[in-house]
Amino acid sequence: MPLTFEPIRLGRQDAYLKYLDVCPQKASDYSFVNLWSWREAYGLEWAWSAELVYIRQTYPHEVFWAPVGAWDRIDWRSEANGMLRTGVSYTRVPEMLARLWREAFQATISTEESRDHWDYLYSRSELQILPGNRFHKKKNLVNQFQKKYAFEYMPLAGPVIDLASGMQDRWCTWRDCEIHEALDAENKAIATVLENWHELKRLTGGALMVEENIVAYTVAEYLTEHTVLIHFEKGDPAYKGVYQAINRMFLEQAADSFQFVNREQDLGDAGLRKAKLSYHPVDFVKKYSVTFLNSLGD
């Protein structure tokens, strides 16, 4: 029976998280916070079966994202709901699902590496301690920030959320978000999260204050029991070392029980890729584009 797609709703957050919790490989794209906050930018919709939640992107073109659920328990060759038909393409497919589909469908699908969508995974302890020569420049910037400014770290909660919202407005003014489509879309996603902070599950975050002014903030989520996911991180460029400082202090204050830090993708941006690589990732959540060349009935 064909599935019916509908807008992603906050009211189904708990139900969705049950599907996500049994998913054997969790990429940043599929956290509820990510789907909810970016739903308008990508025209995201979802459709539910007994075992899977399918996700469809409608803007700027139609393409499906990976379904969410217990992939390793699915008989994919019996998954006959019209979603695996000839010509259907999927993007942001995590490596494990791409492998399961290759095993099930073999030559009837094509898979292509999507490097721009790989999630960067870091050692939480390394980003917190910044050990050795590899992190010398980062640690030096943190030290400069700590010596120069009388700062205070605060959890992202209560009135600090409003301060972060105000800082985001200023950040967008500095960066001219309105004339840059990507920055404007991100700004709207951030506003969605901050405005609905108390309704969204598994969120955490922190902020740096200097002389009662917010100079940096981080929005994060507990993705798995081992991994904290960094969604947004912004700093005032007038404060040298502020990004390195908020990165380290958030992990120290709010995430020291995690093994890994997922800092999402670089989306093919050369500057962002260089910055993410400079923190020396220990692994990636690799993703693929998958197209079904022939359905089972062809």
The backbone region for 130, taken as left when phi is positive above 0, alpha when psi lies in -120 to 50, beta otherwise, is left
Do both 52 and 155 map to the same domain? no
Do both 68 and 168 map to the same domain? no
Assess if residue 70 is contained within a domain.
yes
Do both 106 and 232 map to the same domain? no
With both helix axes pointing from N to C terminus, report the angle between 159-175 and 181-195 in degrees, rounded to the nearest 10: 170
Do both 255 and 234 map to the same domain? yes
Say how far apart CA 64 and CA 224 lie, in whole Å.
24
The backbone region for 69, taken as left when phi is positive above 0, alpha when psi lies in -120 to 50, beta otherwise, is left
Assess if residue 279 is contained within a domain.
no
Do both 113 and 137 map to the same domain? no
Do both 96 and 124 map to the same domain? no
Say how far apart CA 174 and CA 240 lie, in whole Å.
16
Do both 144 and 255 map to the same domain? yes
Encoded amino acid at 29, one letter? D
The backbone region for 24, taken as left when phi is positive above 0, alpha when psi lies in -120 to 50, beta otherwise, is alpha
Assess if residue 276 is contained within a domain.
no
81: domain CATH number? 3.40.630.30
Question: pTM for the full model?
Answer: 0.95
Q: Residue 63: its pLDDT value, please?
A: 96
CA–CA–CA angle 47, 24, 229 (5° rounding): 85
When divided into structural domains, the chain yields a total of: 2
Assess if residue 77 is contained within a domain.
yes
Pairing type for strands 109-113 and 287-292 reads antiparallel
Query: DSSP string covering 223-238, please?
Result: -SSSEEEEEEEEE-TT
Encoded amino acid at 283, one letter? D
Task: Assess contact for 208 and 151: CB atoms under 8 A.
Answer: yes
Q: Which residue has the tokens 């991100």?
A: 186
Say how far apart CA 154 and CA 78 lie, in whole Å.
51
Do both 173 and 215 map to the same domain? yes
Assess if residue 237 is contained within a domain.
yes
Question: What residue numbers bound the domain in which 18 lies?
Answer: 6-118+286-292
Q: Could you give the 3-state DSSP secondary structure of residue 289?
A: strand
Do both 155 and 225 map to the same domain? yes
Do both 150 and 231 map to the same domain? yes
Q: What are phi and psi of 106, to 5 degrees?
A: 50, -120
Q: Residue 146: its pLDDT value, please?
A: 97
Do both 129 and 254 map to the same domain? yes
Written as tens digits, the pLDDT of the chain (298 aa) is 678 999 999 999 999 999 999 999 999 999 999 999 999 999 999 999 999 999 999 999 999 999 999 999 999 988 756 788 888 999 999 999 999 999 999 989 999 999 999 999 999 999 999 999 999 999 999 999 999 999 999 999 999 999 999 999 999 999 999 999 999 999 999 999 999 999 999 999 999 999 999 999 999 999 999 999 999 999 999 999 999 999 999 999 999 999 999 999 999 999 999 999 999 999 999 999 999 997 554 4
Q: Residue 297: its pLDDT value, please?
A: 46
Within 13 A of 11's CA, how many CA atoms are on the CB side? 2
Assess if residue 273 is contained within a domain.
no
Task: Assess contact for 66 and 92: CB atoms under 8 A.
Answer: yes
- Comparing C-alpha atoms, which of 70, 11, 28 is closest to residue 201? 11
Do both 96 and 129 map to the same domain? no
Q: Residue 295: its pLDDT value, please?
A: 57
Assess if residue 1 is contained within a domain.
no
C-alpha R_g of the chain? 20
Alpha-helix residue ranges (DSSP H) falling in 196-269: 242-254
Assess if residue 124 is contained within a domain.
yes
- Comparing C-alpha atoms, which of 11, 16, 34, 21 is closest to residue 219? 34
Q: In this structure, how many other beta carbons lie within 10 angstroms of the beta carbon of residue 124?
A: 21
